[in-house]
Amino acid sequence: RSSSCPPLSSLFAKENLSRMSERQLNLYDRLINEPSNDWDIYYWATEAKPAPDEFENDVMAMLREFAKNKKKEQRLRQPDLEYLFEPPR
């Protein structure tokens, strides 16, 4: 998705997609495709706004944990999309 919103969901995807279950991948797909505004996802992930009940699940919990950035990584740009085609490490 192209968006002016911070690259949170694409960075989260790069770090987590390869280890998510099929159910979690389906939940993540719904999360990134159903809301009409990427900023909503950002606000829910950073807990600036409550997420709707249909998006309250373990994937949202993972995204919120990722958004806390406990490792203090620099997250200034979207990752390159090659990771989608690389085998998991």
**Rounded CA separation 69/60 (Å):** 15
Domain extent listing, the chain: 38-72
User: For residues 30-41, b (16+ Cβ closer than 10 Å) or e, as one string?
Assistant: ebbeeeeebebb
pLDDT tens by residue, the chain, 89 residues: 444 455 788 889 989 999 999 999 999 999 989 987 888 999 999 999 999 999 999 999 999 999 988 766 554 454 455 545 555 55
**Rounded CA separation 10/68 (Å):** 15
